[in-house]
Amino acid sequence: MIESAASTAQPARGAPRMAASLTGKQVAVVGGGPAGLACAARLALLGNSVLVFEARSSQRMQEQPPLPDGDETLAQLERMIALGRIRIEHGRKLGQNLDLSELHLCHDAVFLGVGLAAGRVLGVSGAEPPGLLDAGKRVAAVHCLEDLLALPVPHRAIVLGAARSAIDMAVRLKRLGAQDVTLALRHGVEADGYVEQTARAHFVRIRPWASPLEVLRDERGGVQAVRFEQTRVVDGRLTHTGGFTEIAAHAVFKAVGRAAPEQCERDEQVARISREGERVRVDDCLRTALPGIYAGGDCVAPGQDTALALRHGVLAAQAIHADLQS
């Protein structure tokens, strides 16, 4: 069945000729194989900043390159790395020194392009879409405001995410009884004043120019604080300043936007194939059951050829970009 899917796969929509303007969005790609690198290259071309996490060392990747010399994706990848839109961290493995919940909180979206074991790490081999991620330890990715009703109300909370959806979540937390709520934004506050006025009216703190780096936990695994790096815009690009700060909290929430199905290219076969066994289940736009997390490559359709893996990466990148702009 995998061979059939590979042989009938149609090429994804062509890559942009010129790199788009920066969107300010940051996406994590787990896995430096063909699917992950194709996803990273296309996301960067579309204007997003990408951080690739790869288990293998740089030397091992050079000895066994995932993409052949002369490949168009490789050329795009090298160009985006040179522009500073893509960075690769080696020696990072999901489930060992890479935590999915914190990875998701610190990025606007995550693409998973690693092996079958990812399904067990993710817990998304089932069909029911969980609305929350790691909620037992008070770290949650919330798909809709009603999901908050399923969680204990913390005394102190930090909310991350796009400004408008995040401020709505922060206000809901205050109304539910949270005493201290901080809205952390990678960028400055929007000029129209909506976020600032809403926050002031409901006693929500705003911490602009703060990019989340790490959730700090106590000895029992509960959330204790979040470490942020200060940011600023230089030449139109969001950059990290090297200054750090910590904000105390008992819970961290991320506002996750809804999908934009009408704007993404689809592949019905990948959705069908991913329903077999313990594979990570995805829809025909490579979205998993966890909002904001996408998957392709071996964890979705093991044994595929490079061409189909590249297609997965490109389709996922287009869906991620469309969803982040919606």
**42-58 per-position pLDDT tens digit:** 999 999 999 999 999 99
Q: Is residue 138 part of a domain?
A: no
In this structure, are 153 and 99 located in the same domain? no
In this structure, are 6 and 125 located in the same domain? yes
Q: Is the pLDDT of residue 287 over 50?
A: yes
- Higher pLDDT pick, 187 / 102: 187
Q: Is residue 119 part of a domain?
A: yes
Q: Is the pLDDT of residue 183 over 80?
A: yes
pLDDT (0 to 100) of residue 251? 86
Q: Is residue 177 part of a domain?
A: yes
In this structure, are 238 and 290 located in the same domain? no
Q: Among 255, 271, 301, which residue terminates a domain?
A: 255
pLDDT above 70: percentage of residues in the chain: 77
* CATH number, position 315: 3.50.50.60
In this structure, are 269 and 199 located in the same domain? no
The tokens describing 44, both together, are 């960067």
**91-126 per-position pLDDT tens digit:** 998 778 887 877 888 888 999 988 655 444 444 433
DSSP 197-213: HHHHHHT-EEE-SEEEE
pLDDT (0 to 100) of residue 6? 35
Q: Is the pLDDT of residue 315 over 80?
A: yes
Q: Is residue 139 part of a domain?
A: no
**188-201 per-position pLDDT tens digit:** 888 888 999 999 99
Q: Is residue 85 part of a domain?
A: yes
Alpha-helix residue ranges (DSSP H) falling in the chain: 2-8, 34-45, 58-63, 72-82, 100-105, 117-122, 163-176, 194-202, 268-273, 306-325
Residue 141 banded pLDDT, cuts 50, 70, 90 = low
Number of domains present in the structure of the chain: 2
Domain that holds residue 40: 2-129+258-325
In this structure, are 64 and 85 located in the same domain? yes
In this structure, are 239 and 280 located in the same domain? no
Q: Among 240, 255, 270, which residue terminates a domain?
A: 255
In this structure, are 121 and 6 located in the same domain? yes
Provide the greatest CA pair distance for the chain.
Answer: 58
- Higher pLDDT pick, 4 / 303: 303
**148-182 per-position pLDDT tens digit:** 776 778 899 999 877 678 898 899 999 999 999 99
- Higher pLDDT pick, 292 / 134: 292
Mean pLDDT value across residues 23-28: 91
Q: Is the pLDDT of residue 134 over 60?
A: no
Q: Is the pLDDT of residue 248 over 70?
A: yes
Q: Is residue 104 part of a domain?
A: yes
Q: Is the pLDDT of residue 321 over 90?
A: yes
Residue 63 banded pLDDT, cuts 50, 70, 90 = confident
- Higher pLDDT pick, 26 / 279: 26
In this structure, are 118 and 80 located in the same domain? yes
In angstroms, rounded to a whole number, what is the distance separating the alpha carbons of residues 113 and 121? Answer: 13
Residue 279: Cβ-neighbour burial (10 angstroms; 0-12, 13-18, 19+): buried
Q: Is the pLDDT of residue 186 over 50?
A: yes
In this structure, are 115 and 168 located in the same domain? no
Q: Is the pLDDT of residue 214 over 80?
A: yes
pLDDT (0 to 100) of residue 32? 93
Beta partners for residue 226, in sequence order = 215, 247
Q: Among 234, 255, 276, which residue terminates a domain?
A: 255
pLDDT averaged over every residue in the chain:
80
pLDDT (0 to 100) of residue 135? 41
In angstroms, rounded to a whole number, what is the distance separating the alpha carbons of residues 102 and 297? Answer: 23
In this structure, are 51 and 108 located in the same domain? yes
Cα 267 to chain center, whole Å? 21
pLDDT (0 to 100) of residue 269? 60
In angstroms, rounded to a whole number, what is the distance separating the alpha carbons of residues 113 and 98? Answer: 14
Q: Is the pLDDT of residue 73 over 60?
A: yes
In this structure, are 189 and 151 located in the same domain? yes
Contact 122, 133 (CB under 8 A): no
Q: Is residue 124 part of a domain?
A: yes
In this structure, are 35 and 116 located in the same domain? yes
Mean pLDDT value across residues 199-225: 90
Q: Is residue 136 part of a domain?
A: no
